[in-house]
């Protein structure tokens, strides 16, 4: 196991595999790598693949400063991981909230970002666009108030959500493609969520919901591939389309029928698009 140190001393776990041009995998909130189950092995034959856990996630330590859980903090952590790994420049492949982290990483250090693959994500304000409405942004402050008043109760309720029931609900409500997604591919997500500290998760979600990198989009010069799921209810496809239009020269790909877990539902199609993009980026770099 390899650990880097964040700017505030937070212990950051990362793994590195393969050899070649570097790519770094950037998760969504509450995730520790489940979404890369099929893409990561497809990348390692020709790339050095780095995957890190956000502070408070997976095998990374809790944030030394509990308030430093914003998108900008994760981007700074990403740069610390790359520096520890001896990587001067990498393509960031990001899913969901990782899209915001990738954009902030480019804002912080242009030269360290050789390109971006932004999958099922948006430039920000995610709690106002969830399911195409601002319902989550309205409910979140109430959830945070309950967490502050009854932390023990919230912890108990949080950790007792059965994985099987969560999977069934996600499939029944159409949050994922029930025909293409295998339950065993999604189960690690719910298991990891149950281990998270709920207060930290809510603070992180609130920070991601307030973050907005739209001002940055016209300035981005890194080669960019935007991939969206046609049936993504977490990040509706129109926001990905808008983001791609505002990034100069960006390539946009829509995966028909795919939901927010598109990398697990249509792995071969996604792998083809990502590998084609990486070949172009590294060919241009050479």
Instruction: Give the number of domains in the chain.
Output: 1
What are the beta bridge partners of residue 116? Answer: 92, 224
Residue 125's pLDDT band (boundaries 50, 70, 90)? confident
Distance CA 159, CA 191 (A): 9
Mean pLDDT within 253-272 = 95
Confidence at residue 172, expressed as pLDDT on a 0 to 100 scale: 47
Confidence at residue 154, expressed as pLDDT on a 0 to 100 scale: 66
Q: Which of 116, 137, 118, 141 is nearest to 126 (CA)?
A: 137
Residue 234's pLDDT band (boundaries 50, 70, 90)? confident
What are the beta bridge partners of residue 117? Answer: 93, 225
Residue 149: other Cβ atoms inside 10 A: 9
Mean pLDDT within 64-77 = 96
Token pair, residue 56, equals 């408070």
Domain of 175: which CATH number? 3.40.50.1820
What are the beta bridge partners of residue 5? Answer: 11
Confidence at residue 285, expressed as pLDDT on a 0 to 100 scale: 59
Q: Which domain holds residue 195?
A: 2-285
User: CA of 238: how far to CAs of 121, 123, 168, 231, 261, in Å?
Assistant: 11, 12, 27, 11, 17
Token pair, residue 201, equals 């998760």
User: CA of 155: how far to CAs of 30, 86, 201, 283, in Å?
Assistant: 15, 38, 11, 49
Distance CA 79, CA 209 (A): 22
Mean pLDDT within 257-265 = 94
Confidence at residue 96, expressed as pLDDT on a 0 to 100 scale: 95
Mean pLDDT within 46-60 = 97
Confidence at residue 166, expressed as pLDDT on a 0 to 100 scale: 45
Per DSSP bridges, beta strands 251-255 and 224-229 are parallel
200: pLDDT strictly greater than 50: yes
Contact in structure between 235 and 95 (CB atoms under 8 Å): no
Give this prediction's pTM: 0.90
- The mean pLDDT value of the chain amounts to 88
User: What is the tens place of the pLDDT at every residue in 140-194?
Assistant: 777 777 777 767 756 665 665 544 444 444 454 456 665 576 777 778 887 888 8
Run of H or E residues at 11: strand 11-17
Mean pLDDT within 104-123 = 97
pLDDT greater at residue 224 or residue 149: 224
User: CA of 98: how far to CAs of 80, 92, 120, 247, in Å?
Assistant: 16, 9, 9, 17
């Amino acid at each position: 196991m390899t650990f880097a140190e964040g700017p505030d001393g937070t212990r950051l776990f990362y793994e590195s595999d393969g050899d070649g041009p570097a790519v770094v995998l950037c998760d969504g909130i509450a995730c520790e790598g489940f979404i890369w189950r099929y893409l990561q092995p497809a990348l390692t034959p020709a790339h050095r693949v780095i995957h890190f856990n956000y502070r408070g996630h997976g095998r990374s330590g809790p944030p030394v400063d509990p308030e430093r859980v914003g998108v900008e903090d994760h981007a700074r952590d990403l740069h610390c991981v790359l520096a520890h790994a001896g990587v001067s420049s990498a393509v960031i492949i990001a899913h969901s909230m990782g899209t915001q982290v990738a954009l902030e990483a480019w804002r912080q250090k242009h030269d360290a970002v050789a390109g971006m693959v932004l999958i099922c994500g948006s430039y920000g304000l995610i709690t106002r666009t969830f399911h195409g409405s601002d319902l989550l942004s309205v409910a979140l402050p109430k959830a945070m108030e309950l967490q502050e008043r009854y932390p023990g109760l919230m912890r108990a309720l949080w950790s007792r959500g059965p994985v099987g029931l969560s999977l069934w609900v996600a499939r029944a409500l159409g949050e994922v493609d029930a025909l293409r997604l295998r339950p065993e591919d999604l189960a690690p997500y719910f298991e990891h969520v149950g281990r998270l500290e709920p207060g930290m998760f809510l603070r992180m979600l609130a920070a991601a919901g307030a973050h907005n990198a739209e001002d940055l989009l016209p300035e981005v010069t890194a080669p960019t591939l935007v991939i969206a799921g046609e049936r993504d209810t977490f990040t509706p496809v129109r926001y990905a389309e808008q983001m791609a239009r505002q990034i100069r020269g960006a390539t946009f790909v829509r995966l028909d029928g795919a939901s927010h877990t598109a990398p697990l539902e249509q792995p071969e199609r996604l792998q083809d698009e990502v590998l084609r993009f990486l070949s172009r980026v590294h060919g241009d770099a050479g």
